[in-house]
Chains A and B, each alone.
Chain A
Amino acid sequence: DTGVSQDPRHKITKRGQNVTFRCDPISEHNRLYWYRQTLGQGPEFLTYFQNEAQLEKSRLLSDRFSAERPKGSFSTLEIQRTEQGDSAMYLCASSPRTGGFTEAFFGQGTRLTVV
């Protein structure tokens, strides 16, 4: 399967701990997105990379959140000093660079529970 891969699928952490999620996009895709989804809502944009450059960060992404995409390959999303409000599904998506904007391919997500 050469789809978008996310790890871990589930993470339970205590409030105040740091967590890191990984996303491996489809290999030839240069665009990578992170979204957050809470129960009953649609995905909300967090951040966007084109190759290794982080081009946009949502205001939802507080100083406790940081994302990287070294060498334009996999990406990591770190949350420091987790809070209960961070509990959500974190989704990664990638898309190819084409002449226009096409579909995004999503991973299965990482479900974070902060207790």
Chain B
Amino acid sequence: SQQGEEDPQALSIQEGENATMNCSYKTSINNLQWYRQNSGRGLVHLILIRSNEREKHSGRLRVTLDTSKKSSSLLITASRAADTASYFCATFPLDDYKLSFGAGTTVTVRA
């Protein structure tokens, strides 16, 4: 079974707009990570946020983490056509050593 649930399942935005997607999870975590997957390809790591962190930035990405609500959000600012992909959150539970993935959010950026 998958640990995380992303919302929305799909998102379509205009180039230049911001994209926000959310992730909820079930168990206590060591860290939470976001990955991107282009169609039919492998996953690429975007950003990692530890359980004692609340917000993290990397370029046009901003991730927040609320451990009390067991939720995270990923914001992509000033989106580009190249951001079109599926985005997955993955959790590293406290008592485990493997990542558990959600079903992902498919983002389409229209030119």
Contacts and interface: CB of A to CB of B under 8 A. Distances in A.
Interface of A: 4, 31, 33, 35, 40-45, 48, 50, 55-56, 89, 91, 93, 100-109, 111
Interface string B1-30: 010100000000000000000000000001
Given A109-B40, A109-B41, 19 more contacts: A33-B99, A35-B101, A41-B103, A41-B104, A43-B88, A44-B2, A45-B98, A45-B99, A48-B98, A56-B97, A56-B98, A91-B43, A93-B43, A101-B97, A102-B48, A104-B45, A106-B43, A107-B42, A109-B42
Contact of A101 (B31, B45, B104): B31
Contacts of B4: 42
Contacts of B30: 100-101
A114 B21 CA distance: 34
Range of interface residues on B (Cβ < 8 Å): 20 to 34
Nearest to B89: A42
A40 to B, nearest CB: 7
B78 interface: no
Nearest to B100: A45
Query: Which 8 residue pairs are nearest across A and B when measured between Cβ atoms?
Result: A42-B101, A103-B45, A106-B42, A106-B43, A108-B42, A101-B92, A43-B101, A42-B103
Contacts of B45: 103-105
A100 B42 contact: no
Contact of B99 (A41, A104, A107): A104
Contacts of A40: 103
B33 interface: yes
A108 B45 CA distance: 13
A42 B88 contact: yes
Contacts of B100: 45
Given A101-B30, A103-B33, A103-B48, A91 B102 contact: no
